[in-house]
Amino acid sequence: MLRHLLGILVGIYLILAVSCQSRSFFDMNCPQNISVNLRKCEVFVESRLYFSDFRHWTSELESVVKVSLDVTCSSKGVFILPWPMKARGLIKLNVKGCVLAEYFSESLTPTNLKDELLELSLENCVIASNVKHSIDAFNKPVSQEIGCGQQTLQRSVWRNISYTNTNDMADITIDDFLKFFSSLDQFLNRIIQIRYRCKYSYLEYIDESIGSIRSKHSILIMTAYSDFPKLHTFLWTYNGYSSVPKELTDWRKYFPQLELLDLSYNNITKFNFLGAPFTNTVSKPEPLVIDLTYNSVTEIPVDMPDYLTGSVAIIVDLTGNPLMCDCNFLRYKNYVMHALKIFQKYKNLSRITCHSVIMHRKIQLVNYSNNNC
Ligand SMILES: *[C@@H]1O[C@H](CO)[C@@H](O)[C@H](O)[C@H]1NC(C)=O
Ligand SMILES: *[C@@H]1O[C@H](CO)[C@@H](O)[C@H](O)[C@H]1NC(C)=O
Ligand SMILES: *[C@@H]1O[C@H](CO)[C@@H](O)[C@H](O)[C@H]1NC(C)=O
Ligand SMILES: *[C@@H]1O[C@H](CO)[C@@H](O)[C@H](O)[C@H]1NC(C)=O
Ligand SMILES: *[C@@H]1O[C@H](CO)[C@@H](O)[C@H](O)[C@H]1NC(C)=O
C-alpha cells in the first residue's frame, strides 16, 4: 500500500471534484455457475459503484460460494474502492478505466476478513485519494494487513495507473499539507523501519507497466519489506527508467525464481544483471530472459560472457537499441553466438543490428566482424 502513498506524494497532476447499489443489482449482474459455485459479476459503471455495497452483498452469500468481479467504467465512472479491497469469497478482481476513489479511506481500519484474492488486475485507472486520508495514512503506522494487502495473490496487474488528490481541503492545516508533500526522505526512512514482512508466497506474475510518473524508488519500496519467492514474470515496460534499479541488478536476491524480466520501452542506457549471487546454488535448465528491447543501450558490459556461466543463464535481448558497430557490439555478438549454441530458440537475437558509421548502414549481428578489438 505504501507504494501507492508514494504515488500520491510524487504524482499529483490533476485535481478533480468527486447512491447505493442494492442486493438485487448484484443478484442480477452476478449470474451463478452452480457447477463450480462461482458468481461471476460483470458491472459497467456509468456514474459510481461502491465496493462497500458489493462487500455487503457477498457477506450474505453461502460460505462455499466464490465470487469474481469485473468492473469497467465509462469515461465518467468512479469506483469507490478502498484498499485492501477485501470481500468474503472474492477471488478475482478486474477493474478497467475507472477513477478509484477513497483509496486510503479504510487504511487505518482493520477488517476481520481473511485474504482470499488470487487475481487482481487494475488497468488504465486513476487512484484518487482525499488529501486528509493520505495524510492520515502517512502519519500513522499501518498494520501488516493494510501494508501488505492480500498475500494470497497469484497474479497482480497494475497497468497504466496514475494518481490524483481530491480537492477536499476541510480539516487539513497548511502545515500538515506542506509536511506531507515535502517529505520524501521521511517517507523512505519510515519504509526502512517497518517491522513486518509481506510474504507473497504464491505470486507468480506482476505487470506494473506504463507509469508516466513512476518513482525511481518504486522497486526499492516494493522489495524493502516484501518477499517474492515464486515470482517468474515481471513486466516493467514503458516506465521511463533510464537505469536499471539496484534491486533488479540483484534479482537473484529479491526475485530468485525469475524467468522473464520485461524492461522493454524504457530509456535504459547500460545494464548489469550480475549483482548479488544466489544464496542457494540450485541451477536451472531454463535461462532468465531479460527483454531490453527498444531502450537506449549503447554499452555492453565487459563481463558479458559471465551471463551464460552462472547457475542460471541470462539471455539479454537488445533488439531495437542504438548499438554502434564497434568492440562493444563484437562482445555482444560473441555472447549471442555462444547463447545460441545452448538455447537455439532465441535465434532472433542473431538478427539484431548495429549501425556502421563508416558504411552508413546497419549490419546484422551474424555478419559483423572486427579485427581491431
Ligand atoms: C460453468 O463453469 C463450467 C466450468 O468452468 C463451464 O464449463 C461452464 O460453461 C460454466 N457455465 C456458465 C453458464 O457459465
Ligand atoms: C492510460 O489510462 C488513461 C486513463 O486513466 C487513458 O486515458 C490512457 O489512454 C491510457 N494510456 C494507455 C497507453 O493505455
Ligand atoms: C531518454 O534519455 C535521454 C538522455 O538521457 C533523454 O534526452 C530523453 O528525453 C529520454 N527519453 C525519454 C522518453 O524519457
Ligand atoms: C522472431 O522474429 C519474428 C520476426 O521478426 C517474430 O515474428 C517472432 O515472433 C520472433 N520470435 C521470437 C521467439 O521472439
Ligand atoms: C549475413 O549473413 C547471412 C548468413 O550468414 C547471409 O545469408 C547474408 O547474406 C548476410 N548478409 C549480408 C548483408 O552480408
Nearest CA to ligand 5 atom 10: 367
State residue 107's pLDDT score: 76
Q: Is the CB of 364 under 6 A from ligand 5?
A: yes
Tell me the three cell numbers of residue 368: 559483423
Across the range 176-185, mean pLDDT stands at: 67
Instruction: Identify which of 239, 296, 321 to mutate to test ligand 3's pocket (most ligand atoms within 8 A of the CB).
Output: 296
pLDDT at 7 over 80: no
Centre of ligand 1 from the C-alpha of residue 350, in Å:
45
215-237 pLDDT, tens per residue? 778 899 899 999 999 999 999 99
Mean pLDDT for all residues in the chain: 89
State residue 12's pLDDT score: 41
108-144 pLDDT, tens per residue? 788 889 999 999 999 999 998 887 777 777 778 888 9
State residue 169's pLDDT score: 61
Answer left, alpha or beta for residue 336, where phi above 0 means left and psi between -120 and 50 means alpha. Answer: alpha
DSSP assignment of 243-297, as one string?
S--HHHHTHHHH-TT--EEE-TTS---------SPPSS----SSPEEEE-TTS--
State residue 189's pLDDT score: 79
Q: Is the CB of 33 under 6 A from ligand 1?
A: yes
Taking the C-alpha atoms of residue 303 and residue 271, their distance in angstroms, rounded to an integer, is 11
